Amino acid sequence: MDKFLDLQKRLVPEVIEITEKRYSILRAIEFNQPVGRRALAGILGQSERWVRSELDILKSQNLINIQASGMMVTDEGNEVINKLRDYISELKGLKDLENTLKEMLGIKEFIAVPGDTEKEPHVIIEMAKAAFEYIKGIIEDNDIIAVSGGYSVLSVAENSHKVDAQNVTIVPARGGIKADMERQANIVAAKLAKNIGGNYYLLHLPDNINEDILRRMSDDPDIAKVLNYISETDILIHGLSSFESISRKRNFTEEQVERMKTLNVRAEAVGCYFDANGNIVYKSGSIGIKPEHLDSIKTIISVGGGIQKAEAIILTSKGRKNRIVVTDEAAALEIYKILKGGN
């Protein structure tokens, strides 16, 4: 395969460009169908004329249907998309980049999907599918999976399906935080459990509950059970943020921002705040995964893409052998650039 690709790149380099172009069109239709030609051109950032000529070819090959309601990918088109995913990764050199970054970061696995989440929002679904494929391959009977909230992990839950492992339990990695209800950890846990055929337990406690109240409430057997499951997590799936991003999402006060700057905070994951050296210097909230749990959990999978996530991926994963990073091409290239530059 590698030798064939090298020959193809040298002999007919234009085939590579055409393949990537038509793959991106098929993928954009797949994630937005039914979609009109003008809307598709906007999604791809191209002219309608550019899109029209390519659509005629895809239709002639029975890869798409064009109807009054919009364009849709055919069964043959879906088959082509699925078969092209690995090929496109090879074309772009992502497999080599994945191996290089895995070694540079010193982690268990690095997975990068083609594209840029910041420019192509549907790439988040590609990341979610890649993350779930990895999870499906490692999940075992009686495993406990903890999940954070957020769009990336919610997408993993939405793109999951039945697994063979028995008696799998899903729990939220944290208590409730001020966020959209649909992407809170409790909702993500319930969706993932439903799709994979697992059990789930929810944690109906605010993330920042007073420690004294928590001790008293922990006497409740239902709450104690969930907290115990969280402490025995086998697989943790979480999103991550830069400090700038998380401070906006959580509506930090000026005082909180200044405190974080004093601590040199640069990234956040599951309520743990990391400084520029990758050390956890602050933990928000008292409910859920503790900093001391992170290195003992069997497998931790972080999901997030786009250049803005590159530094956060490095700081939350570098040197941690139980980490799997699932990201996009744009973030992977930026991570390589940062690490190569010694930053």
Nearest Cα neighbor of 310 from 151, 92, 104 is 104
Per-residue pLDDT, 195: 98
Q: Rounded to an integer, what distance in angstroms lies between the CA atom of residue 94 and that of residue 123?
A: 15
Bridge partners of residue 328, in order along the sequence: 113
Neighbours of 227 (CB within 10 A): 21
Q: What is the pLDDT of residue 205?
A: 72
Half-sphere exposure of 334 (CA within 13 A, CB side): 17
Contact between residue 111 and residue 101 where contact means Cβ atoms under 8 Å apart: no
Same topology between domain 2-90 and domain 92-340: no
State the pLDDT at residue 92: 77
Domain boundaries, the chain: 2-90, 92-340
Beta strands in the chain (DSSP E): 64-67, 70-73, 109-113, 144-147, 169-172, 199-200, 235-238, 241-242, 265-269, 272-275, 280-283, 299-303, 323-328
Q: State pTM to two decimals.
A: 0.86
pLDDT in tens, the chain (343 residues): 566 666 766 776 777 778 888 888 998 899 889 999 999 988 888 888 888 888 999 999 999 999 889 999 999 999 888 888 778 887 778 889 999 999 999 999 999 998 899 988 888 999 999 999 999 999 999 999 999 999 999 999 999 999 999 999 999 998 765 555 556 899 999 999 999 999 999 987 766 666 677 677 767 788 889 889 999 999 999 999 998 888 887 778 888 889 989 999 999 999 899 999 999 999 886 678 888 889 899 999 999 999 999 999 999 999 999 999 999 999 999 999 999 985 5
CB 73 within 8 A of CB 64: yes
- C-alpha to C-alpha distance for 234 and 159, rounded to whole angstroms: 21
CATH architecture of 92-340: 3-Layer(aba) Sandwich (3.40)
Residues pairing with 236 in the sheet: 146, 300
What angle, rounded to 10 degrees, do the helices at 13-32 and 75-91 form?
130
Give the C-alpha separation, 177 to 313, whole Å: 22
pLDDT value of position 247 = 83
Q: Does domain 2-90 have CATH number 1.10.10.10?
A: yes
